Amino acid sequence: MIRLYETHHIRAVRELEGTWDFAPVSGERIKVEQQHYTHQLTVPGCWEIHPNFATYRGKGLFHRKVTVAQKTSLRIVFKGVSHTATVYWDGKEIGQHYNAYTSFDIIVRDVEPGLHELTVLVDNSFGEFSSLHVPNDYYTYGGLIRPVVIEEVPDTFIDRIVFTPIWENETWNADIRVILRNISEDTKNIELHGTLGGQSFSLGKGKLSGGTISEFGTTVTFPNVEAWSMQHPRLYELETRLLINGKETPVDDLIERVGFRRVTTEKGQLQLNGENIVLKGFNRHEDHPMVGPSFPISLMSMDIDLMVDMGANAVRTSHYPNDERFLDLCDERGILVWEENHARGFSLEQMQNPNFIWQCEQVNREMVQQHYNHPSIIIWAVLNECASDTEEGRVHYKRQLEQIRALDGSRPLTFASHHRDKERCFDLADIVSFNLYPGWYGDEDPGELCDLARGWADAAGGAGKPMIMSEFGGDGYYGYRDASRVKGTEERHADIIEVNLQAYTSRPFLSGMLIWQFCDCRVTEGTGWLLTRAGTQNSKGIVDKYRRPKLAYEVVKKFFRGTNL
C-alpha cells in the first residue's frame, strides 16, 4: 500500500511490492549483470526476517523485472532503503542514496516498452562512510524496508506541494506552493489548477524552461473549512492539476491530504489552534520482530490503537523520520507528532566524521520536504542527545536548526537533551526538552529533578520556552515478575513509570511527557552494553516487542486517561 489515500487520478502509479530476487554479495566491485540470485525476499521488507540472514550485516542485491507497456519516462520512488542504495536500470547505474529513513527518486527518461531489469545494491554495514547509521540502541536493518513505487511521468510533472495553513482575521487561508520539474529540453507554458473542499482556484501560470525545477503558487482563502484538531482531525484532499501549452486536458496531477491548524509557543506553553496542549505519549521505534522496520498498515494501526487505548495523544518518532503511512494514520487519528532527524547519542568525535554535515543536511531537507504537509507533525527536532554541551557541538545544532527553520517557519523546533545544567543550546530552540531517567539511571525524585530542570533551562537560554520531558522510564523484562520489585521486574518498571507520571502530570509548567518507550526494540549487538541490554534489546517498552502489555500499561492508562491535561 502506497499511502492511505490516492495521490493521483491521472498519473499512472504502481507499487513494486512482492518477492524480489536476492543474493548477499561482498567486495567493492559487484557484478550486477548475470548475477546468480540465491533467494527470494519480500519488498517492502528486510533480510533479517529470513532465517539465513537474521544477523547479516553487509551488502545484498535485490532484483526484479519491470514491464513497461508504452514508451514513457519513469520516476522510481524508493520510500526507504536501509541504509545505502545503489540503483541500476537494465544493468546501468542510475542513482545512489544514503540513509534508511527518507525517500528518494530517480528519473529514467524515454523508456521503451518491454521488459526491464531493476536492481538495487543495498548495504547496511557500518564504517567510516556512514555517520548516522552506527552501532546503536536500536537496529539498522538491511533491505528495501519501505515501498518502491514506479510512476509514469510526462516531460513536465508535479514534483511536490508545500501547503502552509494560515489563520488570519478569523479565517483559514493557505499558502500553496507547487514545485514543477521539466525534464525535457523544451520550454513549456504551464498552468496549474487546484481544488480543496469543493473550492477551485488557480495556482499560477507561466513558462518553465527545459531541464529546470520551478515553484508556482499563491495564497488562497478558504472561508468554509474546519480546523484539524485532536478531537476532530478534519482532513481535506488538495488536488492539483497541470496543463501544458494551452491544452485543456491536464497532463499530470498530485493530491495531498492536508489539514488546517496552527501551532504556537507562547507564554511558556505549547498551543494547537490557540489552546494550550500537553503532549501525553510515547517514544516509538519502528521495530517488530516479525517484520523489522517494514510495518504493514495493520501493525502500524495496532500500535496507534494501543497508544490511544492508554490515553496517549502524542508520539515522538525517535530517532528518525517515520514511514509516511504511519504519519497518514496520525493525521487521521488526531495524534500529535514530534518528528526528528536521524541522529542518536553522538559524541563530539562522532559528529566530527567528515560525512556528518552533508548526511544530516540531506536527512533534514528530505524529512521536512517529504513530510511537510502532515498536520499531525507539530514539532521538528534534531540531534537527540548529541554533544550540545560543547562549543563545537553547538555549531552543528545552530546550523541544523537554522536549516530546518529556513525550510519550515511554521513549526516549533526542539532537541532532546540529557546534559542537565551543562546544556549550551537551549537558546537555539523554541521548546526545551529533557531526557532524564529518575528512578532508573539515578535515584532522584522525578518531581524535584523536573523542577531543577526547569531552572537549568531558564538559566541556559530557555526561559519563557515550553518544556517537555522527552524521555523517562526504565527496563522491565516482559514476564519477569517478582515480589522483590528489583530493577528489571515488571513491578519495578511500573513503579518507575508511576512516580514519573505522578510528578509530571502535576506540573502545570510542562507541555509534554513522552515515555521511553512504547515497545521493546532490538539493538545492535556488542556495543558494550551486554548487561544493560539483556536479550540484545532495549526493554523499556510499555508493551514488549510483540506488543504484549506489561504491568506498566495500566499505570500509563491511569495517568493518561485519568488526567484532564
Q: List residues near ligand ADA by CB under 6 A.
A: 137, 344-345, 384-385, 418, 435, 471, 516, 538, 540
Cβ atoms of residues 193 and 243 within 8 Å: yes
**Cα angle 464, 470, 474; round to 5:** 140
SS3 431: coil
- The C-alpha atoms of residue 85 and residue 10 are separated, in whole angstroms, by 29
To the nearest whole angstrom, how small is the minimum distance from the Cβ of residue 393 to ligand ADA?
A: 16
Residue nearest to ligand ADA (CB): 137
C-alpha 57/C-alpha 75 separation (Å) is 29
For 187, the 3-state DSSP assignment is coil
| CA triple 150-373-107, angle to 5 deg | 25
* 147: nearest Cα among 286, 300, 323: 323
C-alpha cell at 484: 522483590
Q: Shortest gap between Cβ of 142 and ligand ADA (angstroms)?
A: 21
CA distance 371 to 408: 11
Please provide the size of the chain in residues: 565
Closest CA to 284 of 263, 261, 300: 300
CA distance 355 to 370: 22
Phi-psi region of 547 (alpha: psi -120 to 50; beta: other; left: phi over 0): left
Tell me the C-alpha distance between 124 and 143, whole Å: 8
CB 257 within 8 A of CB 237: yes
- Residue number with CB closer to ligand ADA (99 or 417): 417
Q: How far is CA 461 from the centre of its chain?
A: 28
Q: Are 132 and 360 in contact (CB under 8 A)?
A: yes
**Distances in whole angstroms, Cα of residue 255 to Cα of each of 104, 178, 239, 367:** 19, 11, 4, 19
**CB 540, min distance to ligand ADA, A:** 5
Scan for cell 500509563, then name that residue: 556
Q: What burial class does residue 531 get, using C-beta atoms within 10 Å of its C-beta: 0-12 exposed, 13-18 middle, 19+ buried?
A: exposed
Nearest distance from C-beta of residue 20 to ligand ADA, angstroms: 32
From the number of C-beta atoms within 10 Å of its C-beta (0-12, 13-18, 19+), residue 22 rates as buried
Query: Is residue 454 classed as helix, strand or coil in its secondary structure?
Result: helix
Spatial separation of the C-alpha atoms in residues 565 and 501, rounded to whole Å: 12
Shortest separation between residue 344's beta carbon and ligand ADA, angstroms: 5
Residue 515 CB, shortest distance to ligand ADA, in Å, is 11
Least distance (Å) between residue 401 CB and ligand ADA = 18
In this complex, which beta carbon is closest to ligand ADA, that of residue 344 or of residue 419? 344
Angle at which helix 446-457 crosses helix 490-505, to 10 degrees, equals: 50
In this structure, the number of other CB atoms found within 10 A of the CB of residue 442 comes to: 9
Q: Which of 278, 267, 265 is nearest to 510 (CA)?
A: 278
Closest contact distance (angstroms) between CB of 545 and ligand ADA is 14
Is residue 133 within 8 Å of residue 126, measured between CB atoms? yes
Burial of 259 (0-12, 13-18, 19+ CB in 10 A): buried
- Cβ nearer to ligand ADA, comparing 262 with 540: 540
